[in-house]
Chains A and B, each alone.
Chain A
């Protein structure tokens, strides 16, 4: 009986630990700052991540060779971007991109060195949490039920008439 609950405590603890580790890693790797924040912050050479949509009609350059200039929009803010880095397989106009680089304070242009993945792990988290929680819940209920049933079967009380078969008590 105790062993059962200890096993479950270890398992749920492990799952929660895994969830926390995942959350932390994704927070660290996928957090971005808005275009407005980049434009208003003091210039640093430390690379930052920005997310925005490639503005229609602004994309030009040799995308396959990793050279491109375009404008990124995020709500009312527009930021010109000069990209020089690995080839851009997945870029096109009207697409949301995450770029890594820094702002050139003299020209107010964003010098991007690389792209990063879009932060859409809400979908991933939803799929995992839903599956793990519902299966754990069903599994817990099942294991508990079978334990109770075994106990009941072995219980001697079953052979004592609890209800008056002639119905005198009811």
Chain B
């Protein structure tokens, strides 16, 4: 009895590992796994895909951020360099959300006009330095942001 249980457990664990490895190999090795789409790809959406829930990543265009007091919300533009889409969000954005920085938004390209976002995630870059250096204008060698959108 104990040995049968053990055999089942072994088979289950092997299946689990093989499954996760297979998922990795098939999902990530092809280009099927796309964590987010870019504004250019959103612009190419057809009416059938308007209601699909997607994540869009891009840079928040400087000077495009507008907030509304009632109900609390904001609108801004997201760009990948080639195309720009307007985004609307209701609620308070995360603290690290900022113009000129990356953001990934979840939501729908509802009417083909505005991206209605239900969640904003702030994408930060890989450079780290104290405020004094930043104010002195130091730039560390980081990856060009637009290149992180479309490797």
Q: Report how far A94 CA is from B73 CA in the complex, Å.
A: 9
| Residues 75-111 (chain A) with a chain B CB within 8 angstroms | 86-87, 89-90, 92-96
One of A3-11, A53-61, A131-139, A154-162 at the interface: A53-61
Find the B residue at minimum CB distance from A95.
B95
* A60 CB to nearest B CB, Å: 13
**Cβ–Cβ contact B68 & A56, under 8 A:** yes
Decide: B134 and A94 in contact? CB cutoff 8 A.
Answer: no
Residues of B within 8 A of A118 (CB): 95
Does A94 lie within 8 Å of B67, measured CB to CB?
yes
State which residues 97-151 of B face A: CB under 8 Å.
Answer: 97-99, 131, 134-135
B67-78 to A contact mask, C-beta < 8 Å, 1/0 = 111001010000
Question: Do A86 and B95 contact each other (CB < 8 Å), given the known contacts A56-B72, A93-B67?
Answer: no
Check: B86 CB closer than 8 A to any chain A CB. Answer: no
Q: Find chain B residues with CB under 8 A from A86 CB.
A: 135
Contact (Cβ within 8 A) A94 B98 = no
Cβ–Cβ contact B98 & A87, under 8 A:
no
| Chain A residues in 8 Å Cβ range of B98 | 90, 92
Are B92 and A87 in contact, CB atoms less than 8 angstroms apart? no
What's the least CB distance linking A54 to chain B, in Å?
9
Beta-carbon contact of B67 and A57 below 8 Å: yes
What is the chain A residue whose CB lies nearest that of B93?
A: A94
Interface string of B38-68 (1 = CB under 8 A from A): 0000000000000000000000000001011
Which residues of A are interface residues toward B (Cβ below 8 A)? Answer: 53, 55-57, 86-87, 89-90, 92-96, 118
A-B contact pairs, 30 of them (CB 8 A): A53-B92, A55-B69, A56-B67, A56-B68, A56-B69, A56-B74, A57-B67, A57-B68, A57-B69, A86-B135, A87-B135, A89-B131, A89-B134, A89-B135, A90-B98, A92-B65, A92-B97, A92-B98, A92-B99, A93-B65, A93-B67, A93-B74, A94-B67, A94-B74, A94-B92, A94-B93, A95-B93, A95-B95, A96-B95, A118-B95
